[in-house]
Amino acid sequence: MPDMHQRFRGSDELLAEYGLSIGLPDLAFDPDGEVVIEFGDVPVCIVAGDEETGFAVKAHVHVPETLPQEAFAGYVAMRNAVMMSQGMGIVALDDDSGWIWTDRIEPARLTPARLHERLLRVTRNAAYWQATIDTLALAAASAGTEAPPPADPSLIIRA
């Protein structure tokens, strides 16, 4: 939980302006510096950070129990490097909420319009990961075997 005094300058005002631009005039961070906005059926949590971090964004991704968790963790470890290099965020294991897709939005030159563009990209990236997970789970169920192949679970990124 970010400390209220750790938020980057203008984060509250930027979020308020963004809220006005999308018809949510009361949009504001809670006392923990978080706010959840739903884009279609994708709830996205925005967390206010400091000048260096900007906004952290995260969205829960559902990993079915039928998909072997260790094998999935290995797949994620391999894919995260590619996804990070393309600016598509990462999937991480959050101790409180399970598997999440997460990224950050740097505060430099951020306007309400740019924030909206980035949040739309967040929802597309989270949806991409969810579709990938659903495909892996379907493949594992129809093959009756573990898929994807296991890799080193120590490479899991924890949020």
Residue 30: both structure tokens together = 């809670």
Total residues found in the chain within this entry: 159
**pTM (predicted TM-score):** 0.80
Full DSSP string of the chain: ---GGGSPTTHHHHHHHHHHHTT-TT----TTSEEEEEETTEEEEEEE--TTT-EEEEEE----TTS-HHHHHHHHHHHHHHHHHTT--EEEEETTTEEEEEEEE--TT--HHHHHHHHHHHHHHHHHHHHHHHHHHHHHHHHTS--S----GGGPPB-
Give which of 141, 101, 106 is closest to 125, Cα–Cα.
Answer: 101
CATH T-level assignment (fold) for domain 4-155: Yope Regulator; Chain: A, (3.30.1460)
d(CA 8, CA 49): 6
Instruction: Render each residue's pLDDT in the chain as its tens digit; 159 residues.
Output: 444 457 888 899 999 999 999 999 999 999 989 999 999 888 999 999 888 888 999 999 999 888 887 878 888 888 888 888 887 889 998 888 889 999 999 888 889 999 999 999 889 888 888 998 888 888 877 766 554 444 444 545 545
CA angle 5, 36, 90 (to 5 degrees): 90
pLDDT of residue 46: 95
